[in-house]
Amino acid sequence: MNEMQYQVDLMNAMNEKLKNDQKMMNMIIDTSTSCFIYYNYERDDLRILGEWDSYFDFNVKRISDLQNIIDFVDENYRDEMAKCLYPERSGDNHTSVTVRLSSSKKWVECDCNVIYDAKHEPLDKVIRFKDVTVVNDKNEELKYMAYYDMMTGLYNRNYFIRLLADMTERAKKENTRVAVMFIDIDDFRTINDGMGLVIGDELMMIFGQFLNDFSSDDCIVSHFNGDRYCMAIYNPGGLNSVDYIYKMIRNRTRQPFNTADGREIYIKVTAGVAMYPDASENVLELISCSEIVMLRAKNKGKDVIQYFDSELLAEFLQNINIENKLKDAVYDMNFEMYYQPQFDASNGNLRGVEALIRWHDPDDGMISPAQFIPLAEKNGTIVPIGQWVIEDSIRTYMQWRQDYNRSFILSINISAIQYKRDDFVKKLIGIVEKYNMDPKELELEITETALIDNYNDMTEKLKLLRDYGIRISMDDFGTGYSSLSYLKSLPIDTLKIDKSFVDTVLSDENTNIIMESIMGMVKRLGLETVAEGVETEEQLEYLKSINCDNIQGYLLGRPQSEEDIKKLLKD
């Protein structure tokens, strides 16, 4: 083979390879959904390849036409697009950006690669455009789910905490304050139960949208959970003050919220406020502080705003301490029973005793039932505590009955939570029969609170107990809103007049009139009366004069230990 033939064959082989390479490149481009721009700097040669028309409604023929691409994207991304299309201006080899086209909702990923010579002069440039709309929309959706509450569109709890941390860090540098306001819709459960969850969800959404109107660079709003919201206000003051915002919220709640089905719903809200750095410098503690004062405000009457202070923190920490100790005390049943005697007002004879639980902690001493009973009802330990109180009191009473041959009434307070349990009646009767107690010697005290949530169920249980022979007493009469209406429909034997009436009966004419009216009405209904909190001879004489049946109070007998009651029975 001569030299000429060799050169011809080599050229043919190279041409064939070029054809194959070209064919492969064309196939890749044809099967790709992307489009490309190729530019050679030396020849000033620009070409477009691929699915160009799927992205742009114009062509580019020279390098200066790249400005048309920049103008074609959303104005918010034009500066980024310009930097991406001209990497050689900053000496970069590769740039990339994701932008949105202004003429559609399409999101496009743009990659640009530049090849340089030995002197770092640009030789070739390749620009690729890829449709990433589906991926970007999915990312945006995931981002929205990560940052926002799906129901209200407000920031969710986690992202709010992150933003609040940034806000407090900024406040620390600028030596200013941040107010955190925890907001709760009052009695929201009533709306859910009465109108349904769908209406409740719609109301939360409408109220959340209203709160969102306060959003700004210095005010962030979040939906925490259920009917609870949280706001953070940077450097509060003036129209951006907590008081002003709460005033605007209260003004709005004085108008109805209209649902899609035409209902008009009125709501009230309670708010608790904690300031950074006064309450705490820790974000989570700051939020907790605002929630604590909100809950305290609700306990005081709702539809108010309350601010955090150090006394509230001390009280909260004390409650946490007691709650933790309470769990151990319940496990060991580290309680004891005291009994306060009740006397016949006319002759001074012992009518009965009221069983009262006491808790003596080794570190904190005697802890008031007013402190630990609400905590026990909150965390559910009231059920085993209440069961222990019933059994221990009946066991002790029956021992007295045997030792002193005395018959009187054992009165036991029962929590509303105990009454609600399906097995309450069965277990109570089981204990009575276990100790062979005469049911007529047992009296259960019920408060109006126990009747509110489920009146019909409670009434049925009380009737079963009364039919069995157990006496029923209404405690704290006169402190509720509907006590009078209960007297004609509930199976009641005894009415206990609240201490608040006894305290003022001699000094307040209105109380005097009410007391005499109650006594006259109760006598006609055939009920027995017990006046609580009798502390002076004057109160005793007055109660005798209006025919009150029985007296209970410090004047005739404080709560006493089991041993003290034994002495009383012996005497």
pLDDT tens, position by position, 536-556? 999 999 999 999 999 999 999
| Helices 382-404, 369-379: crossing angle, 10 deg rounding | 130
238-281 pLDDT, tens digit per residue, is 888 999 999 999 999 999 999 988 889 999 999 999 999 988 89
Amino acid 482: pLDDT: 47
pLDDT digits (tens, 9 = 90+) for 523-539: 888 899 999 999 999 99
Q: Which helix (H) or strand (E) holds 179?
A: strand 178-185
- According to DSSP, the residues that pair with 444 across neighbouring strands are 412, 472
Residue 32 vs residue 534, higher pLDDT: 534
Q: At what angle do helices 188-195 and 197-212 cross, to 10 degrees?
A: 140
Q: Over pLDDT 70: what percentage of the chain?
A: 90
Q: Give the pLDDT confidence score for residue 106 in this predicted structure.
A: 86
Are 252 and 386 in a shared domain?
no
Cα(139)–Cα(17) distance, rounded to whole angstroms?
43
- Which of 308, 335, 361 is the C-terminal boundary of a domain? 308
**Nearest alpha carbon to residue 253 among 304, 218, 301:** 304
Q: Are residues 129 and 242 in the same domain?
A: no
Q: Are residues 186 and 168 in the same domain?
A: yes
Q: How many residues does the chain have?
A: 571
CATH code of the domain in which 109 resides:
3.30.450.20
- CB atoms < 10 A from the CB of 293, how many? 25
Residue 186 within any structural domain of the chain: yes
Q: Which of these ranges, 28-32, 114-118, 284-288, 443-447, has the smallest mean pLDDT?
A: 28-32
Indicate whether 317 belongs to any domain: no
Q: How far apart are CA 34 and CA 135, in angstroms?
A: 15
Q: Which domain holds residue 11?
A: 1-25
Q: Are residues 369 and 264 in the same domain?
A: no
Please give the Cα distance from 290 to 180 (Å, whole number): 7
Query: Is 225 found in the same domain as 79?
Result: no
Say if 314 falls within a structural domain: no
Residue 239: per-residue pLDDT: 83
Based on the fold, state whether residues 126 and 163 are members of the same structural domain: no
| Cα angle for residues 38, 42, 47 (degrees, 5° grid) | 20
Question: For the sheet containing 107-116, what is the strand order?
Answer: 45-50, 35-40, 122-131, 107-116, 94-100
My answer on whether 181 and 280 are in the same domain is yes
Could you report the per-residue pLDDT of 178-235, keeping only the tens digit for each?
999 999 999 898 888 888 888 889 999 999 999 999 999 999 999 998 899 999 999 9
List the CATH number of the domain containing 375: 3.20.20.450
Q: What is the DSSP string of 373-441?
A: HHHHHHHTTHHHHHHHHHHHHHHHHHHHHHHH----EEEEE--HHHHHSTTHHHHHHHHHHHTT--GGG
Mean pLDDT, rounded, of the chain: 88
The whole-number pLDDT of residue 76 equals 86
Burial of 507 (0-12, 13-18, 19+ CB in 10 A): exposed
Round the CA-based radius of gyration of the chain to a whole number and report it: 40
Tokens 């006046």, residue located: 531
Q: Could you tell me if residue 313 is inside a domain?
A: no
Instruction: Assess whether 454 and 529 both reside in one domain.
Output: yes
Domain count for the chain: 4
Same domain, 156 and 291: yes
Q: Check which CATH number belongs to the domain holding 252 and give it.
A: 3.30.70.270
Residue predicted with more confidence, 448 or 117:
117
Higher pLDDT, 276 or 144: 276
Compute the distance between CA of residue 495 and CA of residue 7 in angstroms, rounded to an integer: 122
User: 111-116 long-range CB contacts below 8 Å, 24 or more apart?
Assistant: 112/84, 112/85, 112/87, 114/87, 114/88
Residue showing tokens 């003051």: 237
One domain for residues 37 and 174 = no
Of 79, 110, 137, which residue sits at a domain end?
Answer: 137
CA-wise closest residue to 339 among 413, 274, 271: 413
| Helix (H), strand (E), coil (C) string for 314-380 | HHHHHHHHHHHHHHHHHHHCCCEEEEEEEEECCCCCEEEEEEEEEEEECCCEEECHHHHHHHHHHHC
User: Which of 346, 338, 396, 393 minimizes the C-alpha distance to 528?
Assistant: 346
pLDDT tier at 517, thresholds 50, 70, 90: confident
Q: Is the pLDDT of residue 467 over 90?
A: yes
Instruction: Report pLDDT digits (tens) over 273-313.
Output: 999 998 889 999 999 899 988 988 887 778 999 998 877 76
In angstroms, the Cα distances linking 170 to 20, 98, 177, 238, 468 are: 62, 31, 10, 20, 68
Q: Is residue 316 part of a domain?
A: no
Read off the pLDDT band of 322 (50, 70, 90): confident
Q: Give the pLDDT of residue 480.
A: 54
Q: Are the CB atoms for 495 and 488 separated by under 8 Å?
A: no
Q: How many CA atoms lie within 13 A of 429 on its CB side?
A: 13
3-state helix, strand, coil in the chain (%, to 5): 50, 25, 25
- Residues 278, 409: one domain? no
Cis-peptide into 236, omega within 30 deg:
no
Q: What is the reported pLDDT for 24?
A: 59
**What's the token pair of residue 20?**
């194959």
Picking from 137, 172, 207, the residue at the C-terminal end of a domain is 137
Q: Are residues 369 and 273 in the same domain?
A: no
